[in-house]
């Protein structure tokens, strides 16, 4: 059975387990700042957006962060590593309440809550950003990858700068 078929036949509990593992791997990659590996969670023609909830709910198209291809994700990583000037920080992401909405058009639709905590040098750890992932996944090279990942954040007022991905 091909990997794609295998995913299609998984029952929702097993699928959720797979997804839990995927999100754990995804957040670990970012939390551990292995940013160069981050684009590998996506397919070539992908969409990654971080959007304030008020824009999303009003149907306003502006994203705080927009990547329309895997190459663009890599460009963001280059910016983080080479061009951006910023204070040292740790960001830790928590994902919970993973819900599978089902397969649609060959894509697995998933929702989850996320919280990102930020720790700066002279400050206490704070909730930096929280919201909902609205993800669409497809099977590529035998594993689930993001075709689309939207981070719709409730925390409208961004505490200064959003540098690392969510």
Partner 1 sequence: MGTRHVWPREGVSRIPYWIYSDPEIYAREQERIFCGPSWNYVALEAELPRPGDFKRTFIGEKPVVVVRDEEDSINVVENRCAHRGVQFCQKHLGSVAEFMCPYHQWTYDLKGNLIGVPFRRGVKKQGGMPADFDLKNHGLRRLGVARRHGVIFASFASDLEPLEEYFGPSMLALFDRVFDGRELRVLGYSRQLTPANWKLMFENIKDPYHASLLHVFLVSFGLFRADQPSKVQMDATGRHGALISWRGDQKKTEDHADMKSLIDNFKLQDSTLLEPVREFPEYTVVMTTLWPNLIIQQQSNTLAMRQLVTRGPAAFELAWTYFGYADDDEDMTRRRLRQANLMGPAGFVSIDDSEVMKFSQSGVGPYPERAGVMEMGGRDWKDEQHMVTESVIRAFYAYYRRVMEL
Residues of the shown chain interacting with partner 1 in the complex, contacts defined by CB under 8 A: 50, 52, 54-55, 58, 60-69, 71-72, 74-75, 78-79, 82-87, 122, 156-163
Q: Which is nearer to partner 1, 25 or 60 (CB)?
A: 60
Of the two residues 19 and 73, which places its CB atom closer to partner 1 in the complex? 73
- Cα–Cα dist 95/66, whole Å: 21
Angle 134-140-145 from CA coordinates, rounded to 5°: 25
Tell me whether residue 65 or residue 103 sits nearer to partner 1 (CB atom). Answer: 65
CB of 80 to partner 1, least distance (A): 9
Rounded to an integer, what distance in angstroms lies between the CA atom of residue 76 and that of residue 34?
13
Least CB distance from residue 84 to partner 1, whole Å? 5
Q: Provide the minimum distance between the beta carbon of 118 and partner 1 in the complex, in angstroms, as a whole number.
A: 13
At its nearest, how many Å lie between partner 1 and the CB of residue 58?
8
For residue 119, the surrounding DSSP H or E stretch is strand 107-120
Cβ nearer to partner 1, comparing 1 with 85: 85
């Amino acid at each position: 059975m091909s990997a794609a078929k295998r995913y299609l036949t998984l029952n929702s509990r097993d699928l959720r387990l797979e997804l839990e593992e995927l999100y754990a791997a995804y957040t670990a990659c970012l939390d551990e700042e292995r940013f160069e590996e981050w684009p590998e969670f996506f397919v070539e023609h992908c969409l990654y957006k971080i959007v304030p909830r008020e824009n999303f709910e009003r149907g306003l198209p502006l994203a705080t962060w927009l990547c329309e291809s895997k190459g663009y994700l890599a460009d963001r990583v280059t910016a983080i590593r080479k061009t951006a000037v910023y204070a040292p920080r740790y960001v830790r992401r928590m994902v919970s309440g993973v819900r599978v909405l089902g397969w649609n058009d060959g894509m697995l639709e998933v929702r989850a809550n996320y919280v990102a905590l930020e720790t700066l040098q002279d400050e206490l750890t704070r909730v930096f950003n929280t919201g909902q992932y609205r993800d669409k996944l497809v099977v590529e090279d035998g594993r689930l990858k993001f075709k689309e990942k939207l981070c719709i954040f409730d925390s409208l007022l961004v505490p200064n700068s959003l540098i690392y991905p969510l």
